[in-house]
A and B are shown apart, each in its own frame.
Chain A
Amino acid sequence: MSNAPHILVIDDEPQILRAMRTILTEKQFRVTVANRGEEGLALAAANEPDLIILDLGLPDLDGVEVCTRLREWTQIPIIVLSVRDSERDKVAALDRGADDYLTKPFGIEELLARVRVALRHSARTQGTQSKVVKAGPLTIDLAWHTVKRGEEDVKLTGTEYKLLAYLAANHGRVLTHQGILTRVWGEADADHTEYLRVYIRQLRKKLEADPERPQYILTEPGIGYRFIADE
Chain B
Amino acid sequence: MNSANMQSSSFLSHFWQYLLAFILIASVTAVFFTLRNILDTTLIALLYLVPLGIITALWGLGPGITSALITFLTLNYFFIEPHYTFVVHRPADIVILAVFLMVAVVISQLMGRAQAGLAAATAREREATRLYELSTALTGLNHDQAIAQILAKQIHAVAESECVELTGTGAHSFAYRLPETSKPTRPPELIVPIQAARGVLGEIRLWRAAPAISSSERQLFQTFASQGALALERAWLAQAESRARVLEESDQLKSALLSSVSHELRTPLSTIKAAASSLREKEVSWDSPARDDLIAAIDDEADHLNMLVGNLLDMSRIESGALKPKREWNILSEIVGGVLARMKNLSTTHQLEFDVPESLPLVPVDYVQMEQVFTNLISNSLKYAPTDTVVCIRARVEAESVHVQVSNQGPQVPSEHLERIFDKFYRVTAADRVTGTGLGLSICKGIIEAHGGRIWAENVPDGLAFNFTVPLTWDGASPPQFSIEPE
Contact = CB atoms under 8 A, between A and B. Distances in A.
Interface of A: 84-85, 87, 105, 107, 155-159, 193-195, 197-202, 211-214, 219, 221-222
Interface stretch (B25-33, B283-291, B327-335, B424-432): B327-335
A198 B340 contact: no
25 contacts: A105-B302, A105-B306, A156-B487, A157-B484, A157-B486, A157-B487, A158-B485, A193-B330, A194-B328, A194-B330, A194-B480, A197-B328, A197-B329, A197-B330, A197-B362, A198-B331, A198-B482, A199-B484, A201-B334, A211-B337, A212-B333, A212-B336, A212-B340, A221-B338, A221-B367
Contacts of A211: 337
Interface string B315-346: 00000000000101111011011101100000
Given A197-B362, A212-B336, A87 B484 contact: no
B395 to A, nearest CB: 12
A28 B190 CA distance: 92
B133 interface: no
B313 interface: yes
Interface in B448-487: 480, 482, 484-487
A156 B302 CA distance: 44
Given A107-B299, A159-B485, 7 more contacts: A84-B306, A84-B310, A193-B330, A197-B330, A200-B334, A213-B340, A222-B367
Nearest to A105: B306
B485 A219 contact: no
Contacts of B313: 84-85
Contact of B329 (A87, A107, A194, A219): A194
Interface string B222-263: 000000000000000000000000000000000000000000
A194 B484 CA distance: 12
Q: Which 4 A-B pairs have the closest CB atoms?
A: A194-B329, A212-B337, A222-B368, A193-B328
A194 B478 CA distance: 13
Contact of B331 (A85, A105, A159, A197): A197
B354 interface: yes
A105 B301 CA distance: 12
Contacts of B486: 157
A214 B333 CA distance: 12
Nearest to B333: A212
A166 B202 CA distance: 69
Interface string B68-109: 000000000000000000000000000000000000000000
Given A200-B334, A219-B334, A155 B371 contact: no
Contacts of B340: 212-213
B182 to A, nearest CB: 46
Contacts of B485: 157-159
A107 B303 CA distance: 10
Contacts of A199: 484
Contacts of A221: 338, 367-368, 371
A106 to B, nearest CB: 10
Nearest to B303: A105
B451 to A, nearest CB: 15
A155 to B, nearest CB: 5
Name the residue in A87, A156, A195, A198 with the highest tally of chain B Cβ atoms < 10 Å from its Cβ. Answer: A198
Nearest to B369: A222
A193 B485 CA distance: 17
A223 to B, nearest CB: 9
Name the residue in A105, A195, A212 with the highest tally of chain B Cβ atoms < 10 Å from its Cβ. Answer: A212
Given A156-B487, A157-B485, A197-B329, A213 B302 contact: no
B484 A197 contact: no
A213 B329 CA distance: 20
A219 B326 CA distance: 17
Contacts of A202: 484
B318 to A, nearest CB: 12
Nearest to B331: A197
Contacts of A194: 328-330, 362, 480
Contacts of B480: 194
A226 B340 CA distance: 18
A193 to B, nearest CB: 5
Contacts of B371: 221
A219 B338 contact: yes
A221 B341 CA distance: 12
Name the residue in A159, A195, A197, A200 with the highest tally of chain B Cβ atoms < 10 Å from its Cβ. Answer: A197
Contacts of A214: 337, 341
B487 A197 contact: no
A139 B485 CA distance: 23
Nearest to B330: A197
Nearest to B339: A221
Contacts of A156: 487
A182 B291 CA distance: 50
A197 B334 contact: yes
B484 A198 contact: yes
Interface in B366-408: 367-368, 371
Contacts of B299: 107
A192 to B, nearest CB: 8
Contacts of A197: 328-331, 334, 362
Nearest to B486: A157
Nearest to A191: B328
A210 to B, nearest CB: 9
A157 B331 CA distance: 20
A188 to B, nearest CB: 15
A213 B487 contact: no
B329 A193 contact: yes
A95 to B, nearest CB: 15
Contacts of B484: 157, 198-199, 202
A155 B487 CA distance: 7
Given A155-B487, A219-B338, A212 B354 contact: yes
A198 B480 CA distance: 11
Contacts of A85: 310, 313, 368
A201 B331 contact: yes
A28 B341 CA distance: 32
A107 B368 CA distance: 21
Nearest to B306: A105
A213 B335 CA distance: 10
A137 B333 CA distance: 24
Name the residue in B313, B341, B362 with the highest tally of chain A Cβ atoms < 10 Å from its Cβ. Answer: B341
Name the residue in B310, B354, B484, B486 with the highest tally of chain A Cβ atoms < 10 Å from its Cβ. Answer: B484
B321 to A, nearest CB: 16
